[in-house]
Amino acid sequence: MRAKGWWVRVLIKLGLASWILVLASCARSGVHATILFMQERELGGPVFPTRIIVSSRYVRIDPDIGTGNYILFDRKERVIYSVDTADRTILVIHSHPVTLVKPATLVDVVRRGHTKGQFLGYPLVHYRLFTAGRQCYDIEVAQHLLPHAVKALNAYAETLAGEQAITAENTPAGLETPCDLADNVFDPGRIYAQGFPVRMVDTDKNEKVLVNFKQHVVVARKLFVLPADYVRYSPEEIRNGG
C-alpha cells in the first residue's frame, strides 16, 4: 500500500523534515515514541494528513496537520483532552463504565478474506466487520505490526466509549445505527482485534490509511504538555448548557 498523489508525498517529506529539527533539539531530554503518518478522508471528501504520536504514557493525535488542534490521551490516567487552539479551550473526557444495555440483536460478525498485498513487508489480510447483518468496516490488517500502537489506540477507543454511551442513550431512537453502537460503545476496539488496520473504510465512506511510520524516535516533551491558560470544560457541562 502506497500513498497516492504527489502532494501527499510532499506533505510527508515536509513533515519528516520538520521532525528532524525537533529531534535534534530534544535528543537528550525528549521522549521516545512511535510516529504514525496517516492520510484520511471524511464522508468521501478530500484527503488530509494526520499524525499520531504514541509514547509509553501518551497518545497525541494531530488531525489535519496545520490547524493546531490536537487530541491528547493520557494512557495512565485514562483521560482524553481535545484541544481547540482557535477557541483556546480543552474538552476533558474521563473514562467511565458503559452502563447502556446492549441490545440482543447487536451481534458482531468478522469475515476474513484473502491476503491482499503487503505494507512495508507485512502481509495484508482483508476483513469485513458486520453488526446485525450490516457491514460496518472494510479493513486491511497488517498482523504483528506496531503492537504497542494497537494497544494504545485500543485503550483510547475504550476510554471514549463511556462518553459515547451517554450520547447514544440521549439520542432519539433510530438515529444510532447498529454500526454506530458497536463501533463507538459496545465494541470500540474491534478494528484493532486482528492487528493494525493499515486501511479502513466505514459505512459513511470515512477512510484512514497508514502511509508510513517511524519507531524509537525522540520527540519534545512539550508535545504532551497542555496549554495552561486554556479554559477546560466537560461533556456534562455541554449537556447541561454550561
pTM for the complete prediction?
A: 0.85
Residue whose C-alpha cell is 489506540 = 153
Dihedral of CA 152/153/156/161: which sign? negative
pLDDT tens for each residue of 152-198: 999 999 999 999 999 998 888 778 899 999 999 999 999 999 999 99
CA distances from 78 to 138, 188, 193 (A): 28, 15, 20
Give the whole-number percent of the chain exceeding pLDDT 90.
76
Can you read off the three cell numbers belonging to residue 149? 500502537
- Rounded distance, CA 99 to CA 96, Å? 9
> Which tens digit of pLDDT belongs to each residue from 65-110?
778 899 999 999 999 999 999 999 999 999 999 999 999 999 999 9
* Helical (H) or strand (E) element with 122: strand 122-131
Residues in a beta bridge with 196: 142
